[in-house]
Amino acid sequence: MEEQRLSEFHHVVSQNRTLSSKALTIALSLITNPFTSHSTLSSLLDTLILCLQNPASNDTNHHHHVISLVSASFPPPPPTSAITFSLPSTADPFADENLFLSLCFGQSVISRRFLLRNVSKFCVKPSLLLTVLLGFTKDPYPNIREVALDGLVELSNCIVVEDQSLIEGCYFRAVELLFDCEDSVRRSAVCAVSEWGRLLVASNQDQSKKEWSDTVFVQLCSMVRDMDMKLRVVAFDALGKIRMVSEDILLQTLSKKALPATKEKTYCGQLTAKLLTLPASGAAFAFVHGLEDEFHEVRRSACRSLCMLTAVSAEFASEAVNILMDMLNDDSVVVRLQALETIHFMAISDHLKVEEAHLHMFLGTLLDRSDSIRSAARNTLQSIKLQNLAMFRLGIDALMKNLEFYPQDEADLFLVIFKLGRTHGKFVGSIIREVFQELEPSFEGKLAFDNARTVALLVLAISVPVSFERKICTVPPQTFSYAVTQLGRISRGLFDVVNQNTLLAYLSHCSRFSLVSASEFFKGEEPALQLDKSDVLLCQKSNDTSEAHLTSPLLDCLANLHDRVTSCVKIVLRKISDIWRLIELGCMGEVIQTLRSWKEELSKFTSDSPQTVGVLAFALQYIQVIKLLGKVWTRIFSSRNLRYHGMGVLEVLLGKIDKILQDMWYRFIGLSKDEELHLLEIMLLSCVLRLSYLETCNFEASLKKICTISFRVENLCKEEAIELSSFILDLQKLLCEIGNSGDGVFENIYLLQKSLKCFSLRQIVLSGEIKHLEAELNVRDNNFQNPLPFISGLPVGIPFEIMLYNLTSEKRLWLTMSVDGMSTQFVFLDLHEFEGCDEIRKFTFVAPFYGTPRVTYFSLKVCIAMECLSEDVQLFKDYEDPKPELSFLCKEIEVHLSTPVN
Amino acid sequence: MAIECLVLGAGQEVGKSCVVVTINDKKIMFDCGMHMGYLDHRRYPDFSLISKSGDFNNSLTCIVVTHFHLDHIGALPYFTEVCGYNGPIYMTYPTKALAPLMLEDYRKVMVDRRGEEEQFSYEQILECMKKVTAVDLKQTVQVDKDLQIRAYYAGHVLGAAMFYARVGDVAIVYTGDYNMTPDRHLGAAQIDKLQLDLVITESTYATTYRDSKYAREREFLKAVHKCVAGGGKVLIPTFALGRAQELCMLLDDYWERMNLKVPIYFSAGLTVQANMYYKMLINWTSQKVKDTYATRNAFDFKHVCSFDRSLINAPGPCVLFATPGMISGGFSLEVFKQWAPYEGNLVTLPGYCVAGTVGHRLMSAKTPAHINIDQDTQIDMRCQIHQLSFSPHTDAKGILDLVKFLSPKHVILVHGEKPKMATLKEKMQSEMGIQCFDPANNETVSIPSTHYVKAVASDALLQSSLSPNLKFLRKCSERGSDFGGLDARTKPRLKVFDDRMAEGILMVQRNQNIEAVHQNEVVAMLGLESHEIKFANCCPVYIANSETRNVVLSQSTVDKSFWLRLLFEKLSSKFPETSIQDCGERLQIESFSVSVCSKEICPHRTTANLQCMPETMYFCCTWSTADEKLAWEIISVIKSLSLRDK
């Protein structure tokens, strides 16, 4: 039906190239039918436009019909945006204008409205257009007045008007229409007043410019009490656009009573439809009205323009802050958010002066339910300057509360605390002093390192050295080392400011200096640092964009000075001796958590140089040993029913310890005497533990082992004068006594148990050059789905790709191959046969496996093991079987073999 | 034609609002309240002034009640049931729903507590309510053929409305009590821009300028939060309707935001019932309530828990809303007795307490103090006191803003105190130029009203008024374009006119309809000729060079155009902005036209004799009145020409 009508229309039109009444009827019927498709409509429109362009039809009446048809088809969203209304016939450039004018001044209101609405689509001279639009603001039809004003607004943006009186004319005409009866006209008039007011201000100079700007401002203020909500929004938006307003007028907008400064002033404008003078007091309370409005749209708009205007006057800003703080109590989230943004803006434009009374309301937003509000509040807080310690404390307390109620904000909070601390360095010092006990690992209660509050306080503390008031601050340096224990957590928060490695370097640097404050130290300590004031005063007044890079130069500098990994390991190892006390107290939960976090930190480092690989591996294993020891210790000394429970567990633990210690002893080379002694001491401890609590029945054999180790210790001491720990001395004495006396086993065990009391973990200091013996083993292209072929019963050769690190050719390596963990076959790897240096050796080795089982498929577990050759064991070459003590150098791999099918 | 306003109550006082407005024989009574301060005949408006005979049904067209407060509705049952008024009564739906509650409550208090003789019975209240027609917001009600009324939202209390009434061409607005700033549960007053002859507005706070509501809210929340954080109990004595909901909403919101878990209780009674009405009448509440209505009814308070008496002495902090507001007895007094002796507790007081109530005594007391509840009981009061300053009335700025927005021709102030009203009246007249009255009770104010006369428009006028007819008038710039010159009273230099209406002429002929015709028609209609006034001046210019003159004069016909061209150049340089048309024989500038006069005797010459002077050229000028100023400027230019060229 639709298509039928359309084709009929086209037919009629094509006959005489103009629209007959019949064609018009058809077109109208199509347009008014709401079910007409877009394609039909656009086709129809195209034809209509063609008719308009037809030079033959110069009858305006005819055009009116067409235009009203076109405009009638506008309300539904038609594809008209594609249509350009270039109506002119080709010859005469003024034809467009003439047609436009004749249509405008015709009798049809619809087409007039349509033309004015789409004014930008016609090529009409701006000067002419301006006159026409200005004229039509007098039209008796409100919708024409409205579109004329809209047109003027549009025009004001794209033309330059030099005639002052013309601008004035437009402006005052718009002012008149501010008091129109129609809401929509008033709304458009507000826009027009705003825009033409802007032109008016721009066309004046100096003093009169200022006067005009005030005039426009007050004029717009008179509209904020209109009953139309949208109008109020527009009015406030317009107010926010004004860039120049006298301070007394701005202040008037916050006061209901006429201020003395504005009492007598009048401007050129209209207060009501009849009153043709505009008193300055017309601006009274404008902003407060807006902020109190019933509609959140208006409140938000008012808040936003307030934001813009606070930049104009500091005094206004300080007044406005009172009511803005109240806006934080608004029930609408968008308004609260805007209020926070406004406060933030004021803070960064340095027009914010927060008093203690405000802070209560402001800090309340940190506990807001909405995430975005809390985030905005924190964002604002970090740029606020808090006047005194009490206020700063309030702020920190509120942040802590935020952390307590909404732990999910942690990362962001840390950043804010850090920044806040940096800008308020001198307050941080006194706060940290107060809460220092909380930070110290306490021995009565539990260590609270994992407590979010503690971490937050640590963050606060570590912000001091980079603060502006560095000189005054005093934060105990151990705080920095405590902070290291929470490195991951903290660095997640401070991600924007500094990366983890740099942070670590920074912390370890600061923590090194006792007594002297870290900040003081930056200057004197290392000449290489060359940190004079200009370097350290990195943080210029907070400006978010630059802030990201602020601290980095300093910290990067630190990072370059130290090998990051080694320093990190050193810090961790140093801390471990502190941990021992906790173990003694039985706080195993905390210890395990702390150790685990350290391990995580360390394992994040990627191994880039052979030295660091060794150090890292050593540290990791060391931590593991301490952890296991701690578990044993608490099991023995804290649980009362040890005799009946947990012996099995104890055995497993001690077994693990022995294994790791042995590994450490044999697989690390380049250990210093100190380090060796340390390891031996732990070995002794482990043995004594085993002897006195586990293997009491096997006393003699165990004692022998202790003696062996003790002998090693003595050997070490012979070469160099090393101070032995009280535990070793005590033990040596004891061993002599046991050897000499004929006391019973139980007395001896008691004595040994007593000697354990002397043990305390010493700090291990790494000399640095530790190498880790390691191997990598791989069989190429072998997996479950892609097995190697074999024939059962016959030997099979397996091609291994082997990488060896730090293994000298003297080391005796074996390939251990086992099926189902039952029978193990050893193949000797003679390192002399393979190329490569000691540091790294890479080769392929085809190892024969003899005992292939009688199955179609089996898997072989292969590993590289090293004979543990201690000095006291006689060396002899043997390619048959390895010595019983083996240390595995790599992870066990699985080799899949299967008989080939056919 | 005039509007008669008879103020029966609330004239220069607060209480028994009642204004009877007469427009074109229609008598409308706005509000029918009682005065709470009197117990004698002064309690009710003097209805006898409406009709001596007491035949109110014939003398009154209708009664319009704005809201359910007793000083606006208290006398209604008396008027209908005792005085016998049977005509139509209009009020909004919520008012109709809540009014019986208020009236019955009042009746009970009067009869039961004070043992007074009852003015009307409960049955009479119900009977009265049956006569009421409920209206909705912005619903236009045609009371009779001529009278229209329409309700607009007024804020103040639930269901409060301003009423617009129109009889023929006369339109007035009676505001009742209203609030121009929204609170948590009710919106701000909202009205259309209307053409009004009269606005009758309340003026309770005629001289008060209230500060931002946020400060009040903040103080309140701070006090309450501090109290409950310290483990104290908060007693909020309130009136059942309005304030309780507002405060509770404020608290509920705050609780929600701050994640507080302290219980809030509502004591039973009227409040619960009132809450139910609030929930039902959501359309009458604030925008915020309406916005959230889809997800949650804001009056379903999240943190309000059910209350029973045993909880009064339960340990731990809580907030309790209890009636009555002024702690004059009842439940709030009971709780007060229990809680007052403890320092951690808090009691809030409403902004206004009647003398004689416990609340009134508390207002002046300083803690700790001994408060006498009655002769026998004395309380050692140690709790904190917080005074609320919430008010549902608009302040002076609000009144002025409303009047400014409506821009009526006249204003009558009622419902306020006399000296304050006088101040506001002065202000309104001086600042806005609106005539303002503040009549006392039983006074009548008469105001001239608009009266429109219908005229028939002629076809030609209609036709011409369809097409725009724009005119721009540019004032000649006498002053420079600096601001200093543009005094506040100067009109802009460029003005726009659309003359399509101005072309109409009103014809009032005897025994005929009044007719508006187009000016072109008038001449024909009246059978007259049209005349145009023109000015003319023949302006002499002395030719200095006689040789030229001779040549010129001898060949006069040839060189007329030469002189004109000369003049054209001169004028073009003098008046660069104006367009000058060269029409060959003459020059045309607007309506000014100039040509070379070759007549021997020209009547337009002003020189002693009209004869042609030797050695002189004559330019003959004509113009119409509109361009007189321009004309003289041009002539002065011509005169100053001295043709010595060539």
List CB contacts of B104: < 8 A, sequence separation 6 or more: B122, B125
pLDDT for res A266: 87
d(CA A84, CA A466): 62
Q: Which residues of B428-441 are buried (b: 16+ CB within 10 A; e: fewer)?
A: beebbebbbbbbeb
Torsion of CA A865, A871, A876, A881, to 10 degrees: -30
Interface contact flag, B490 A268, Cβ < 8 Å: yes
Number of continuous H segments (helices) and E segments (strands) in chain A: 39, 13
B467 touches A at CB < 8 Å: yes
Q: Which 8-state DSSP code applies to residue A476?
A: -
Non-local CB neighbours of A812 within 8 Å, separated by 6+ positions: A828, A866, A867, A869, A882, A883
- The runs of H, that is alpha helices, within B14-166 are 56-59, 70-73, 76-77, 93-108, 122-130
Task: Give the gap in angstroms from C-alpha B419 to the nearest C-alpha of chain A.
Answer: 19
Among B214, B290, B481, the residue to mutate for chain A (most A Cβ within 10 A) = B214
Could you tell me the maximum CA-CA distance found in chain B, to the nearest angstrom?
Answer: 130
CB–CB of A168 and B492 under 8 A? yes
Distance from CA of B575 to the nearest CA of A (A): 17
A274 and B210 within 8 Å at the Cβ level: the answer is no
- Residue A305's CB is within 10 A of a number of other CB atoms, namely 22
More confident residue, B131 or A841: B131
Output phi, psi for A424, to 5 deg: -130, 45
Question: What is the CA A476 to chain-centroid distance, rounded?
Answer: 29
Instruction: Looking at A668-774, list the stretches that DSSP marks H as alpha helix, in order from N- to C-terminal side.
Output: 673-689, 699-719, 726-740, 745-756
Strands (E), B10-157: 18-23, 26-30, 62-64, 89-92, 132-135, 140-142, 147-153
Give the pairing type, strands B410-414 and B198-202: parallel
Residues in chain B within 8 Å Cβ distance of A165: 474, 477, 481, 492-494
Considering only CA atoms, which of B194, B458, B472 is closest in space to residue A168?
Answer: B472
How many of the other CB atoms lie within 10 Å of CB of A551? 23
Q: Sign of the CA dihedral A442, A446, A452, A453?
A: negative
Amino acid in the structure at residue A565: V
pLDDT score recorded for residue A184: 93
Measure the CA–CA gap between A482 and A493, rounded to whole angstroms: 16
- Crossing angle of helices A126-136 and A142-158, in 10° steps, is 150
Contact A500, A457 (CB under 8 A): no
Helices (H), A471-563: 478-485, 487-493, 500-511, 518-524, 533-536, 544-547, 552-561
Nearest residue, CB atoms, A294 vs list B188, B195, B209: B188
B214/A329 CB distance under 8 A = yes
pTM (two decimals): 0.67
Backbone angles phi, psi at B127, to 5 degrees: -60, -45
CA-nearest residue of chain A to B285?
A: A294
Cis bond leading into B100, ω under 30°? no
How far does Cα B425 stand from its chain's mean position? 15
More confident residue, A868 or B232: B232
C-beta atoms surrounding A750 within 10 Å: 13
- What is the 3 state secondary structure string of A395-424? HHHHHHHHHHHCHHHHHHHHHHHHHHHHHC
> What whole-number distance in Å separates Cα of residue B280 and Cα of residue B274?
10
Using CB atoms, pick whichever of A138, A204, A207 lies closest to residue B498. Answer: A138
- At B500 the three-state DSSP class reads coil
Q: Tell me, yes or no, if B259 comes closer than 8 A to chain A by beta carbon.
A: yes
Indicate if the pLDDT at residue B201 is higher than 90.
Answer: yes
Instruction: Give the dihedral sign, CA A321/A327/A329/A335.
Output: negative
Which residue in B has a C-alpha nearest to residue A369's C-alpha? B257
Is residue A287 within 8 angstroms of chain B, CB to CB? no
Residues of A in contact with B209 (CB under 8 A): 256-257
Residue B190 touches chain A, beta carbons under 8 Å: yes
Q: Please return the burial class of A776, using the count of CB atoms within 10 Å of its CB with bins 0-12, 13-18 and 19+.
A: middle
pLDDT at A544: 35
Using the Cα atoms of residue B109, residue B111, residue B112 and residue B114 in order, give the sign of their dihedral. Answer: positive
3-state secondary structure of A688: helix
**Cα–Cα–Cα angle for A215, A217, A219, rounded to 5 degrees:** 70
Task: Tell me how crowded residue A205 is: count the other CB atoms within 10 A of its CB.
Answer: 10
CA B190 remoteness from chain centre: 10
Among chain A residues, CA nearest to B470: A135
The CA–CA distances, whole Å, from B357 to B324, B353, B361 equal 11, 7, 7
Q: How distant is the Cα of B377 from the closest Cα of chain A, in angstroms?
A: 40
**What positions of B carry a catalytic annotation?**
202
C-alpha radius of gyration, chain B, whole number: 38
Domains of chain A: 2-220 (1.25.10.10), 221-353 (1.25.10), 388-510 (no CATH), 539-758 (no CATH), 773-898 (2.20.130.20)
| Mean pLDDT confidence for B554-577 | 71
Q: Is A707 on the interface with B (CB under 8 A)?
A: no
Which of B137, B191, B193 is best to mutate for the A interface (most A CBs within 10 A)?
B193
Mean per-residue pLDDT of chain B: 83
Task: Give the nearest chain A residue to B188 (CA atoms).
Answer: A294
Amino acid at A685: L
Q: Which residues sit opposite B166 in a β-bridge? A: B148, B171
Domains in chain B, please, with CATH?
2-209+392-448 (3.60.15.10), 214-387 (3.40.50.10890), 455-526 (no CATH), 534-645 (3.30.310)
**pLDDT number for residue A442:** 58
Contacts of B466 in chain A (CB under 8 A): 107
A663 touches chain B (CB under 8 A): no
Neighbours of A441 (CB within 10 A): 20
Indicate yes or no: CB of B405 within 8 angstroms of CB of A368: no
Instruction: Classify B530 as helix, strand or coil.
Output: coil
Q: Is residue A342 less than 8 Å (CB to CB) from chain B?
A: no
> What's the N-to-C CA distance of chain B in angstroms?
76
Residue with tokens 């139910």: B276
Contact criterion met (CB < 8 Å) for A329 and B191: no
Q: Is the pLDDT of residue B609 over 70?
A: no
Among the partner-chain residues A132, A165, A208, the one whose CB lies closest to the CB of B493 is A165
Rounded Cα distance, A267 and A100, in Å: 38
CA dist B61 → A605, B9, B76, B423 (Å): 93, 19, 15, 34
Distances (CA, A) of A477 to A422, A432, B431: 17, 12, 70
How confident is the model at residue A522, as a pLDDT? 39
pLDDT at res. B20:
95
Per-run averaged pLDDT (10 residues), chain A, 902 residues: 80 72 78 76 74 60 66 47 41 62 78 79 80 87 91 86 84 91 93 92 87 92 92 94 90 87 85 85 90 92 91 87 86 90 87 82 86 90 86 89 88 87 81 78 56 82 68 66 80 78 77 46 35 33 35 44 64 76 73 80 67 79 86 72 61 85 83 82 84 71 80 78 79 78 70 78 76 85 84 84 82 83 79 77 84 83 80 49 73 85 64
Please answer yes or no on whether A274 and B431 come within 8 Å at the CB atom: no
Strand partners, A404: none
Nearest CA in chain B to A186: B193
| Beta partners for residue A266, in sequence order | A279
* Contacts by residues A548-552 (CB-CB < 8 Å, ≥ 24 positions apart): A548/A496, A548/A497, A550/A466, A550/A497, A551/A466, A551/A497, A551/A498, A551/A506, A552/A497, A552/A498, A552/A502
Q: Would you say B240 and B292 are in contact if contact means Cβ atoms under 8 Å apart?
A: no
Of A105, A181, A327, the CB nearest to B193: A181
Q: What is the rounded CA–CA span in Å between residue A395 and residue A381?
A: 8
Cβ partners under 8 Å of residue B113, min gap 6 = none
How many whole angstroms separate alpha carbon A382 and alpha carbon B582? Answer: 76
Partners of B188 on chain A (C-beta within 8 Å) are 293-294
The pLDDT score that the predictor gives to residue A76 is: 41
Q: Do B493 and A331 touch (CB under 8 A)?
A: no
What per-residue confidence (pLDDT) applies to A449?
57
Residue A72 vs residues A681, B244, B255: alpha-carbon distances, Å: 98, 53, 53
| Amino acid letter, B354 | V
Which amino acid, residue A117?
R
CB of A291 within 8 Å of any CB in chain B? yes
Distance, C-alpha B511 to centroid of its chain:
41
Whether the CB of A263 is below 8 Å from some CB of chain B: the reply is no
Question: Residue A131: its chain B contacts at CB < 8 A?
Answer: 472
Q: What is the distance in angstroms between the Cα of A252 and the nearest Cα belonging to chain B? A: 13
